[in-house]
Amino acid sequence: MSANMVALAYLVASVFFILALKGLSSPESARRGNLFGMVGMAIAVATTLTLTENWVLILGCIAVGGVIGAIVAKRVQMTAMPELVAFMHSLVGLAAVFIAVSAVNNPVSFGLPEILPMGSKLELFLGTFIGAMTWSGSVIAFLKLSGRMSGTPVVFSGQHMLNLLLAIIMIGLGLWFFFSETTNWTAFIAMTAIAFLLGFLIIIPIGGADMPVVISMLNSYSGWAAAGIGFSIGNPMLIIAGSLVGSSGAILSYIMCKAMNRPFLSVILGGFGSDGGAASSDDGTQKTYRSGSADDAAFMLGNSDSVIIVPGYGLAVARAQHAIKELAEMLHEKGVNVRFAIHPVAGRMPGHMNVLLAEAEIPYEQVLEMDEINSDFSDTDVVLVLGANDVVNPAAYVKGSPIYGMPILDAQKARTVMVVKRSMAVGYAGLDNELFYMDKTMMIFGDAKKVVENMLKAL
Amino acid sequence: MIGEIDPFIINLTIFVLAIFVGYHVVWNVTPALHTPLMSVTNAISSIIIVGAMLAAGPAETDWGVWLGAAAVTLAAVNVFGGFLVSQRMLEMFKKKDKKGNT
């Protein structure tokens, strides 16, 4: 194929990738969008194949990787999606490093001059460094999310200084690499090693609850790594696809930070949640709360006109999604208007709770985002809070509270609030929740799944 | 005039414009689909498989080619894993009015 034909085919593939993301604007068009993505990728791979000579080797590798990928995609639990995504980011990062090393070794196979010009060296430096950080950062994120490594932040004194020092050394090595007349492998390898190390060091101080931000950020990195490789080998399609992914991840990080009311920089610098005994706003008096049984709750739910269910990650931990779906269906049959309200950080990654509810076959029309449903709480008879805490804490409206300004679901505005919880323990932010002590609130203690099953029996 | 422009500048132009396209397209993605968005973008970022294939391409096989082959395998896991898991998730977001509970 002529170079122009190849470039045109890559352009077509790039348009398909844009259409893939565009399709995700609504659940109806999303499957078609995903299909567009696959078509784009198929075009890109088929076109590239014509430029290579080792067809057997390449197709063999694609087959092996493809089978592994297909098996993983089929078997993974929906609750484990964050780990899977982190794992896949790590693969992109590592592949980017391999490609960059290979390009330094044999620039001619990428259509680059035998002796790399300075510009190409800079681009390869960027691609390698972002790729290496993506790999090691994602490995840590994967270990933390899958529980193989504790989610508590790892902090030590001088951490930021160390990172800064390493970054400076890395840039120094990069400069050495640029200004060497022949290929300076020592500088290149040392620089890559430091980038790997930096990836580890940057992610270890970030706590478990900030993982939605981290995973979005790594999503963004993996895109920039692809774009960096695109610059190195002068391939506009890689630049376009990489930028799409990079900006997508950046936007998701922004949305997550905003939903937690945490500045991006403070998430990245890490250490949140490591200070144990903070935020004790006790005024000395023992506050009283009202507790009830699942039967009482079921009676009230059955007699209400409108119910909003606020699910949190606790719901998924208790594997209560299917039970809650049956409860919603049963109430629906009794003529109750049942809806679900999702806070942006309700799961372990952006949109995670929506997927978990969709898996339980809860129609997505009943599942509403915070902005869509918040004004309806005041007209609602019963709000059922399941495994959520900080996202319904009215302290977010109190000046001086640590979570002041965080957008919350206005559960406190409903006529009756029911909270299913294991105990009165505080949530992740370490704050007491005023909502639990309101006169209209009924606490139902126990495992979310058992409580919901008992409600089902009582109905 | 085009001939005088450094290819880097052309690539930079594409890069900046693509970021704008990405920005606008992604803000239109419904929040309910943010997890599938991540898995789809993840699959798209494995477009670096193109770079990996070029690295594995030359007939003279040296260690760089094998490194490229390893990268092809890694990226292929991502291409298939990413698109298939997205498809699996998006199947769950189908309308369920056939069950007659409307």
- A14, A39, A92: best mutation site toward chain B, by most B Cβ within 10 Å? A92
Dump pLDDT digits (tens) for A200-234. Answer: 998 888 877 788 888 999 999 999 999 999 998 88
Q: Are B34 and A30 in contact (CB under 8 A)?
A: no
- A106, A254, A327: best mutation site toward chain B, by most B Cβ within 10 Å? A106
Position A275 scores a pLDDT of 39
Contacts with B89 from chain A: Cβ below 8 Å: 78, 81, 355, 358
Residue type, A139: V
Contacts with A359 from chain B: Cβ below 8 Å: 92
Reported ipTM: 0.92
Q: Are A2 and A231 in contact (CB under 8 A)?
A: no
Q: Residue B100 pLDDT more than 70?
A: no
Q: Are A93 and A374 in contact (CB under 8 A)?
A: no
Q: Are A73 and A79 in contact (CB under 8 A)?
A: no
Do A363 and B74 make contact, defined as CB atoms within 8 angstroms? Answer: no
Do B34 and A38 make contact, defined as CB atoms within 8 angstroms? Answer: no
pLDDT band at A285 (very low <50, low <70, confident <90, very high): low
How many angstroms separate the CA of residue A15 from the nearest CA in chain B? 11
Residue A169 three-state SS: helix
Q: In chain B, what's the furthest Cα-to-Cα distance?
A: 66
Cα distance between the two ends of chain A:
68
Q: What DSSP assignment string belongs to B19-65?
A: HHHHHHHHHTS-GGGHHHHHHHHHHHHGGGHHHHHHHT--SS--HHH
Q: Closest chain B residue to A91 measured between Cα atoms? A: B74
Do B64 and A95 make contact, defined as CB atoms within 8 angstroms? Answer: no
- What residues does A309 pair with on adjacent strands? A340, A384
Question: How many interchain CB pairs under 8 A, A with B?
Answer: 380
Name which of A53, A233, A241 is nearest B45 (Cβ-Cβ): A241
10 Å CB burial of residue A119 (0-12, 13-18, 19+) is middle
- B12, B23, B34: best mutation site toward chain A, by most A Cβ within 10 Å? B34
Residue type, A81: M
pLDDT band at A286 (very low <50, low <70, confident <90, very high): low
Residue type, A51: L
pLDDT band at A434 (very low <50, low <70, confident <90, very high): confident
- CA A51, CA B47: separation in Å to the nearest integer? 16
Q: Closest chain A residue to B33 measured between Cα atoms? A: A351
Which runs of consecutive H residues, i.e. helices, occur in A343-411?
352-359, 370-373
What average pLDDT does this structure show over A327-353? 90
Contacts with B7 from chain A: Cβ below 8 Å: 234
Name which of B74, B87, B96 is nearest A94 (Cβ-Cβ): B74
Within 13 Å, how many C-alpha atoms sit on residue A440's CB side?
A: 13
pLDDT band at A279 (very low <50, low <70, confident <90, very high): very low
Name which of A53, A64, A236 is nearest B59 (Cβ-Cβ): A53
Dump pLDDT digits (tens) for A162-174. Answer: 989 999 999 999 8
Do A92 and B45 make contact, defined as CB atoms within 8 angstroms? Answer: yes
Identify the residue whose tokens are 């492998």.
A185
How does A248-273 read in b/e, with b if 16+ C-beta sit within 10 Å?
A: bbbbbbebbbebbebeeeebbbbbbb
What average pLDDT does this structure show over B17-46? 94
Q: What is the mean pLDDT of chain A?
A: 88
Name which of B28, B41, B88 is nearest A73 (Cβ-Cβ): B88
Radius of gyration over every alpha carbon of chain A, rounded to an integer in angstroms: 26
Dump pLDDT digits (tens) for A311-325. Answer: 988 888 888 888 999
Dump pLDDT digits (tens) for B52-96. Answer: 999 998 888 889 899 999 999 999 999 999 999 999 999 998 866
Q: In Å, how far are A140, A175, A206, A387, B42 from A150, measured between CA atoms?
A: 10, 37, 11, 21, 25
What average pLDDT does this structure show over A26-35? 93
SS3 content of chain B, % helix, strand, coil (to 5): 80, 0, 20
Do A109 and B58 make contact, defined as CB atoms within 8 angstroms? Answer: yes
Do A119 and B8 make contact, defined as CB atoms within 8 angstroms? Answer: yes
Do B46 and A223 make contact, defined as CB atoms within 8 angstroms? Answer: no
DSSP state of B16: H
- CA B78, CA B66: separation in Å to the nearest integer? 19
SS3 content of chain A, % helix, strand, coil (to 5): 65, 5, 30
Active site residues of A: 390
What average pLDDT does this structure show over A265-286? 54
- CA A196, CA A213: separation in Å to the nearest integer? 20
Tokens, residue A22: 């565009």
Dump pLDDT digits (tens) for A169-203. Answer: 999 998 998 888 888 899 999 999 999 999 999 88
Contacts with B69 from chain A: Cβ below 8 Å: 54, 57-58, 61
Position B7 scores a pLDDT of 84
- CA B63, CA B101: separation in Å to the nearest integer? 61
How many angstroms separate the CA of residue B7 from the nearest CA in chain A? 8
Cα distance between the two ends of chain B:
63
The residue among A302, A290, A306 whose CA lies nearest residue A415 is A306
Q: Are A394 and A318 in contact (CB under 8 A)?
A: no
Q: Residue A457 pLDDT more than 50?
A: yes
Within 13 Å, how many C-alpha atoms sit on residue A145's CB side?
A: 25
Name which of B74, B81, B101 is nearest A73 (Cβ-Cβ): B81
Q: Are B69 and A256 in contact (CB under 8 A)?
A: no
The mean-pLDDT minimum among A100-104, A205-209, A448-452, B97-101 falls in B97-101
pLDDT band at B1 (very low <50, low <70, confident <90, very high): low
